[in-house]
């Protein structure tokens, strides 16, 4: 069994601090040049599955660029919104029993027909996404009506 000397301990500590310091400098530089694989907000329509995957009253979450989107089959057809709550950016969910889109963080409630705030602290409606259906395939993109 070997015993570490004070000199070795100080040397080891210095090397650990040097490695941590280099990492703190290198990681942001690498992250800056590393290409992001996900678009912030896609400009082209994004496939969101098939219409038969969302029966009336049901919903589905899909990825929309870096953020989740929520699709709900409402009485007025399939509606899509950014699932990011307009309060503090929690991810909203569909509550089938209530028939509302709900933010679990601070009890924000949204109308699935237009994304408007029903109650709670969110300051504005969910961002509506445009829904296009082509041969049973759903596509979503920015520019929906709220
Ligand atoms: S983050 Fe959604 S209600 Fe606060």
Ligand 1 atom, smallest distance to 107 CA? 3
Task: Describe the strand order of the beta sheet including 93-95 as a list of residue ranges.
Answer: 93-95, 100-103, 108-110, 117-119
- Report the separation in Å between the CA atom of 84 and the middle of ligand 1, taken as the mean of its atom positions: 9
Within-domain flag for 59: yes
Interval between CA 3 and ligand 1 midpoint (Å): 55
30 lies in the same domain as 50 = no
Q: Please give the pLDDT value at position 26.
A: 77
Q: Which atom of ligand 1 is nearest to the CA of 122?
A: 3
Asked if pLDDT for residue 109 goes beyond 80, the answer is: yes
107 C-alpha to ligand 1 centroid (Å) = 7
> Does residue 28 sit in the same domain as residue 51?
no
Q: Is 57 helix (H, G, I), strand (E, B) or coil?
A: coil
Q: Mark whether 64 and 10 lie in a shared domain.
A: no
Q: Containing domain of residue 10, as a range?
A: 1-34
pLDDT at 145: 67
pLDDT digits (tens, 9 = 90+) for 11-69: 888 888 888 888 787 776 766 666 556 678 888 999 999 999 999 999 999 999 999 99
Q: Is residue 41 part of a domain?
A: no
**CA 144 / ligand 1 centre spacing (Å):** 22
- 65 part of a folded domain: yes
Q: What is the pLDDT of residue 31?
A: 64
Domain harbouring 137, CATH code: 2.102.10.10
Phi, psi of 66 (to 5 degrees): -85, -10
Q: 76 and 14 in one domain? A: no
Tell me if 40 is assigned to some domain.
no
Q: How far apart are CA 70 and CA 90, in angstroms?
A: 13
92 Cα–ligand 1 center, Å: 8
**93/50 same-domain check:** yes
* pLDDT value for 41: 83
Q: Same domain for 83 and 59? A: yes
Q: Is the predicted pLDDT of residue 144 greater than 80, yes or no?
A: no
Interatomic CA distance for residues 82 and 102, integer angstroms: 13
Kind and range of the H or E run holding 139: strand 137-142
Residues having CB closer than 6 A to ligand 1 are 85, 87-88, 90, 103, 105-106, 108, 120-122
Atom of ligand 1 nearest to the CA of 120: 3
Bigger pLDDT: 94 vs 16: 94
Q: How many domains does the chain have?
A: 2
**60 lies in the same domain as 23:** no
């Amino acid at each position: 069994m070997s015993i570490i000397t004070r000199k070795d301990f100080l040397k080891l500590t210095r090397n650990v601090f040097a490695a941590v310091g280099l990492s703190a400098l290198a990681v942001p530089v690498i992250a800056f040049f590393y290409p992001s694989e996900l678009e912030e907000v896609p400009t082209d329509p994004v496939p969101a599955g098939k219409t038969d995957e969302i029966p009336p009253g049901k919903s589905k979450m899909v990825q929309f660029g870096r953020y989740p989107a929520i699709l709900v089959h409402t009485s007025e057809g399939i509606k899509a919104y950014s699932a990011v709550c307009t309060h503090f950016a929690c991810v909203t969910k569909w509550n089938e029993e209530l028939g509302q889109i709900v933010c679990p963080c601070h009890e924000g409630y949204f109308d699935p027909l237009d994304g408007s705030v029903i109650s709670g602290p969110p300051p504005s409606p969910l961002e509506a996404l445009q829904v296009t259906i082509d041969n049973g395939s759903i596509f979503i993109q920015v520019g929906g009506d709220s």
